[in-house]
Structure 1
Amino acid sequence: MKTNIDITSWFSNSHSNGFELGLKELLYYKAKSQLLDLKPKGQIRSPQAGQYLAPHKGRGMEFAEVRQYQYGDDIRAIDWRVTARTGEAHTKLYQEEKERPVFVFTDLSNSMLFGSQLLLKSIQAAHLSALVAWSATQRGDRLGGVVFSEHNHHELKPTARDKGVLAFCHQLCDVHSASLKNRDQQSNSHFNENLRRLKHLAKPGSLIYLISDFSDLNDESFSLLEGLSRHCELIGCQVSDPFEHQLPEYSDAIEIQGAQASWTLPLGDKKFRDKFAKRAEQVFSTRLRRLSRSGMTMLNFSAALPLETQLAR
């Protein structure tokens, strides 16, 4: 994993400023698509779902096992080395590769419009979404998605090749721009509403990346996620900021102004900082456990580091 990256050069090369989202910085991740491995972690449930392992065995691209020859097996698949060693005919079995779409569910809500160091969480979420999208296209997968905030949303039906990724990147920019513009407006979370949209879009066997801070979930959210996980493979990408885990030491108190309230943080008080860190650890660990129980494989990403430093291939 790379850690010695020059941040000034990275900002220049990636065309990012950390708080506004532009198309160029999403195109940047096309050249980084090999950072992600979209190979499924388990068998897919849909027998109709191009490049993934189906649960039945036959002749295909991925070797599965060797077993004794059975009547009807293709003689071209006989493993002559094992046959010679055992004295009995054995044949090679393969898992057939099947096609399935990749969906990206991107949360650009108000809670994501926060960043204390490198990027807003929403910008990192958009970068990660673009990386998943380009990786899917490089594998020949069709891309679908849902991008949303409290203020608007976009849906993308599974679309092949770069056309789908470009449409998705434009959607990311549009939703993020609206979210920034309306960040001071109070509005309820639309997370569950957009999960229901995703459920209608994603067919059984789909691979779904859900990218969010997952800070505004309720029992209905977890129920919807459990329902999705029965038919699709879910990868949860939790984006957070270091400030949410550990307050920095500072001699003065600082005032935080949020969209709906303001509060004072006594950063010079060590007991307060320790209490905050302990509480934050409890909140994050509880959230991760519930998300995992909902059927998601969870990954954590920081908004304070470029993705290149957090992904190793």
Structure 2
Amino acid sequence: MLARLKRLARLRAQPDPGISALASVHAPLIAATDIAGLAAQASLLAALPVREVHDHHAGDWASRWLGRGLDFEESRLYSPGDDIRDMDWRTTARTGRAHLKIYREERQPIMHLVVDRSATMRFGTRRRLKVAQAARVAAVLAFATAGHNGVIGATLWDAQDETLPARHGRLAALGLIEQAAAPCPPLSDPSPTDPLHHADRLAALDASLPRGARLVLISDFAWLADAHEMQLARLAARFDVWAIQIVDAAERALPAMGPACFHDMASGQQVWLDTAQTAVRGAIRTAFDRHLATQAARLARAGVRHLQVDGEADDLAALLIHG
């Protein structure tokens, strides 16, 4: 009798597979035990925030934008409308032409992260979803910025977009990570990608961010179209824009699974493919390589730095340093 009760206790202690799967769907994208490891990776990015930035917060970093600051940068010819309090009288007397002193402002680094949580990002075949990898990249960048006294803000692209205001410090980084790593279950009825919707999103970033900020777009860029190039170029002219593209292994090389039905979460279309055929897998791989090359060309024409990150990659610091 005692042995039977022990067996029943063991059975009840084992979680039901269906319940476990449901719980994992509603679990955070980053486990609490992994956050410390991501913070350790961020400490390796010592050179990351050194790139010159500019925003409306005074700080310890030199801006690449000239303005009314403390450190003399150069003299230039006076133009009508310039403030005469900045006149460089010595140069004016020496050259006989009116010159103005230009100073370099000291600014505090600001980084704004965009984390794409749309339908195409809720996919993954090796270790984690693409959206989970996006959250991990955001965590490393947030910790690195906070470690250098930077200002961190974010926008989460989701069914309802959410913007997190720019704040200082490690607590701001942790708050951002908590939002970026919120549970991300599959969408039951994903709407097709609308280029105009993403155009509005890019326009909102252009209107809301201070000039010279670092803008990091973390996405698979399944939405990227020719219509977005001009807006991305406008963003790149005002900000330091970095596109980090998350790619899953199955997108690069489709596994042999036999006949299978595929649902395009961007367009809503469904198609049956016999993945057992080498020619079919080869055609899919060629098409995806062409797709990646087209996206990379669009970003390059817009003047946006571009880095591809595999969804299964663990050492994000090494990728981000060399990206």
- Is the shorter-chain TM-score for this pair beyond 0.5, marking a shared fold? yes
User: Structure 1 residue 182 and structure 2 residue 184: aligned?
Assistant: no
Instruction: Please name the residue that 1:128 is paired with.
Output: 137
Structure 1 unaligned runs (5+)? 1-15, 61-70, 73-94
Cα offset for 1:200?
2.7
Cα offset for 1:129?
0.8
Question: Does the CA contact (< 8 Å) of 1:118 and 1:304 recur in 2?
Answer: yes
Q: Secondary structure at the match of 1:50?
A: strand
For the pair shown, the structure with the greater C-alpha radius of gyration is 2
How many residues matched? 265
Aligned residues: CA RMSD: 3.6
User: Structure 1 residue 159 and structure 2 residue 167: aligned?
Assistant: yes
Instruction: Please name the residue that 1:8 is paired with.
Output: none
Aligned partner of 1:53 among 38, 41, 62 = 62
The equivalences for 1:30-69 within 5 A come to 30-36=39-45, 37-39=47-49, 44=53, 50-55=59-64
Change (3 A) 1:188 1:256: closer
Question: Does the CA contact (< 8 Å) of 2:49 and 2:145 recur in 1?
Answer: no
Between the aligned partners of 2:275 and 2:55, the Cα distance in structure 1 is 53
Question: Does the CA contact (< 8 Å) of 1:222 and 1:291 recur in 2?
Answer: yes
Question: Does the CA contact (< 8 Å) of 1:18 and 1:120 recur in 2?
Answer: no
Cα offset for 1:47?
9.4
Change (3 A) 1:232 1:265: same
Deviating more after overlay: 293-302 vs 179-188: 179-188
Change (3 A) 1:192 1:168: farther
Q: Residue 202 of structure 1 aligns to which amino acid in structure 2? A: L
Cα offset for 1:107?
0.7
Cα offset for 1:128?
0.4
Instruction: Please name the residue that 1:286 is paired with.
Output: 294
Structure 2 unaligned runs (5+)? 1-23, 72-88, 91-103
Instruction: Please name the residue that 1:197 is paired with.
Output: 204
Question: Does the CA contact (< 8 Å) of 2:55 and 2:108 recur in 1?
Answer: no
Between the aligned partners of 1:156 and 1:111, the Cα distance in structure 2 is 23
Between the aligned partners of 1:31 and 1:309, the Cα distance in structure 2 is 9
Q: Secondary structure at the match of 1:127?
A: helix
User: Structure 1 residue 232 and structure 2 residue 268: aligned?
Assistant: no
Between the aligned partners of 1:35 and 1:301, the Cα distance in structure 2 is 18
Instruction: Please name the residue that 2:307 is paired with.
Output: 299
Cα offset for 1:300?
0.8
Instruction: Please name the residue that 1:168 is paired with.
Output: 176
Change (3 A) 1:19 1:253: farther
Q: Residue 229 of structure 1 aligns to which amino acid in structure 2? A: A
Percent identity at matched positions?
21
Q: Residue 300 of structure 1 aligns to which amino acid in structure 2? A: Q
Between the aligned partners of 1:49 and 1:229, the Cα distance in structure 2 is 23
Deviation by residue 1:150-184 (Cα, 9 ceiling, x = unmatched): x112112210112321321232234xx3x525343
User: Structure 1 residue 110 and structure 2 residue 116: aligned?
Assistant: no
TM-score by length of 2: 0.70
Between the aligned partners of 2:320 and 2:167, the Cα distance in structure 1 is 28
Cα offset for 1:278?
1.7
Cα offset for 1:188?
4.3
TM-score by length of 1: 0.72
Between the aligned partners of 1:311 and 1:304, the Cα distance in structure 2 is 12
The equivalences for 1:207-246 within 5 A come to 207-246=214-253
Cα offset for 1:281?
1.3
Between the aligned partners of 1:187 and 1:240, the Cα distance in structure 2 is 20
Q: Secondary structure at the match of 2:313?
A: coil
Change (3 A) 1:30 1:225: same
User: Structure 1 residue 140 and structure 2 residue 123: aligned?
Assistant: no
Between the aligned partners of 2:198 and 2:228, the Cα distance in structure 1 is 8
Change (3 A) 1:59 1:146: same
Question: Does the CA contact (< 8 Å) of 2:30 and 2:135 recur in 1?
Answer: no
